[in-house]
A = this chain, B = another copy of it.
Amino acid sequence: MEIRELRYFVAVAEELHFGEAAQRLGMAQPPLSRAITQLERRLGIALLERTSRKVTLTAAGDVLLAEGRAILSAVTAAERRTRRAATAHPSLVLAVKSGTAGELLTKLLDAYAAEPGAATVELLLCEAHQHQLLLQDGQADVALLHLPFDSAAGLDTETLYTEGQVAILPASHPLASRSQIRMADVTTLPELPMARWPGPSGSYPEGPGAEVRNLTQLFQLIALGRTTVVIPESASADLRRDLAAVPVLDAPPVATAIAWPPHSRLRTVADLIRVATRL
């Protein structure tokens, strides 16, 4: 199996249409058909069911689609990382969800900078769930993320610390003066539906709450009395004066973790992880 064949198969499996897949690949349709047929013959397996009107995946094709995508991104990651390793200046790209771990991040960067042989750390601010892609295709070397919210599938992680969660409410809201509340208290407010974050696919779950992408948007909507949210305690540092944070007793604890691709051989990554776990 060659990368080229995988790229072809993934394109066809995603488009489920030879002509459009060929166009996306910048080639003519006949060689694409032939390449797929040959791949199937070499594997001895049918990957696609085709009539002259419709193309569908077989069970085997479904598996190969998932595997193939992973391999393709691993290949582009390999190229990127190799290229990076060849440049003289050792640098390190750290992906951080904007608004995450303010104080921890400062301490981490300071502590790492004090290490002998520390590389320049580039910060790559990203949106929720984007870490994984960035690490997987080699655009980032390390990431800070929140478990169990951010998926760390296929990554190695080390938990740095855990914390409780707080509900963010308009300062004038009746619950805002409470010293602590429970999940049930905030999830059942009809006038303040919980804000919705985009899922791993980038689409929003169904629900009445506002759709938000970052903390600024979120805080503005909460101040306007349109929504509320339960977030890790540390994300509520330096809150606007018109908002209040109330600890939610039974919200699941959130871990801030450092994550890296499992086969990383970069000394700089190992150093950063070591420093982080010692904080």
Contact = CB atoms under 8 A, between A and B. Distances in A.
A247 interface: no
Contacts of A79: 1, 43
A2 B3 contact: yes
A67 B78 contact: yes
Interface stretch (A68-76, A159-167, A217-225): A68-76
Contact of A153 (B75, B85, B156): B156
A218 to B, nearest CB: 29
A241 interface: no
Nearest to A260: B153
In which size bucket is the chain A interface? 35 or more
Interface stretch (A203-211, A226-234, A261-269): A261-269
A58 to B, nearest CB: 7
Contacts of A68: 78
A43 B1 CA distance: 21
Nearest to A136: B262
Which of A2, A67, A79, A154: most chain B Cβ within 10 A? A67
Interface in A67-107: 67-71, 74-75, 77-79, 81-86
B1 A4 contact: no
A245 B74 CA distance: 46
A215 interface: no
A154 B83 contact: no
B64 A82 contact: yes
B71 A83 contact: no
Interface in A225-275: 262-266
B82 A67 contact: yes
B2 A86 contact: no
Interface string A112-139: 0000000000000000000000000000
Contacts of A64: 78, 81-82, 85
B265 A70 contact: no
B262 A153 contact: yes
Contacts of A263: 66-67, 69-70, 153-154
Contact of A60 (B3, B43, B71, B86): B86
A46 interface: yes
A45 interface: yes
A63 interface: yes
A272 B43 CA distance: 28
Which of A43, A45, A84, A86: most chain B Cβ within 10 A? A86
A62 interface: yes
A131 to B, nearest CB: 14
8 pairs of A and B residues whose beta carbons are closest in the complex: A154-B262, A67-B78, A60-B86, A63-B85, A153-B262, A66-B265, A45-B86, A64-B82
